[in-house]
Amino acid sequence: MALNTSILLIEDNIKLANLITRYVTPHGYTVEHKVNAADIEDIREMTFDLILCDVMLPDGNGFALFPKLREVCDAPIIFLTALTDVKDEIKGLDLGAVDYITKPVHPQLLLARIRANLREGPREYDCSTLSIGDSLILDKNAETVTYQEQALNFTHHEFELLWIYAQYKDRPLTREFIFNELMKREYDGLDRTIDARTMRLRKKLQGLAIPGLSIRTVWGKGYVLAYEPPTTVEHSS
């Protein structure tokens, strides 16, 4: 029997979610159930030993959600889905999922798959590097930024702010959120340190002239690190 083993279940089918929960709980597993992709914002301070994720969710799909799940948790991920095409299974496994189970789910088989994947032990995921596009790479451990294999000069303060923006690329971040992430304390509503540091970082990125990369102000929402890969336009002769 499992002991204090925690499972995150992301499944919009309440009946199926209840069935899975009722079946695995007596075997020593605790289940945290979320019904859609947006709900995973609530789990950032939680830890799990394994994740069961439906592929077709009301507000997205599990394949698109996978990178975000990997940001907040390094537990093995099993996809649950009604998609039976082998191409979908290959896609899920290529993303990094440890297993792919098609519906209808047989509870005994699901339990066996859970046990098998947990027996294999935790997998190593490299969360110390981030890439933006094909050429810009951030290394958190070394605090280095390279573009087209050339090292760029960033100070410690510049790098830690850029790292936060890069983690949430193309998503607006509020001043309060950035402050809490950066300073590790509550925002008082008055401090403008984030604005000043963001302006300096924005100016630095402008000076580097990396195509398609910029920090933008989203009025009423905050700031966003935006990346729009340049497109090649073919001219007909």
Q: What percent of the chain has pLDDT over 70?
A: 91
What pLDDT is recorded for position 234?
Answer: 46
Are residues 51 and 73 in contact, defined by beta-carbon separation less than 8 angstroms? yes
* Contact of 32 with 48, CB cutoff 8 Å: yes
With the CA atoms of 109, 111, 113 and 114 taken in that order, what torsion angle do they form, in degrees rounded to the nearest 10? 170
Which pTM does this prediction carry?
0.52
| Integer Cα distance of 103 and 113 in angstroms | 14
Q: Which CATH number fits domain 129-227: 1.20.1630.10, 1.10.10.10, 3.40.50.300, 1.20.58.340?
A: 1.10.10.10
Please state, as a whole number, how many other Cβ atoms lie within 10 Å of the Cβ of residue 182. Answer: 17
pLDDT in tens, 77-126: 999 988 888 888 888 888 889 999 999 888 888 999 999 888 755 444 44
Give the model's pLDDT for residue 135. 80
Give the H/E segment covering residue 195: helix 193-208
pLDDT at 12: 93
Task: Tally Cβ neighbours within 10 Å of residue 124.
Answer: 7
Q: Is 179 left (phi over 0), alpha (psi -120 to 50) or beta?
A: alpha
Low-confidence ranges of the chain (pLDDT < 70): 1-4, 120-127, 134, 231-237
pLDDT at 237: 41
Do the beta carbons of residue 203 and residue 183 sit within 8 Å? no
| Domains of the chain by residue range | 5-119, 129-227
- Tell me which DSSP letter residue 39 carries: G
Question: Six-digit token pair at 95?
Answer: 């993303």
Return the closest-CA partner of residue 165 out of 206, 130, 196: 130
* Overall fold of domain 5-119: Rossmann fold (3.40.50)
Using the 8-state DSSP alphabet, how is residue 174 labeled?
-
Amino acid at 53: C
Q: Under DSSP, is residue 142 helix (H, G, I), strand (E, B) or coil?
A: coil
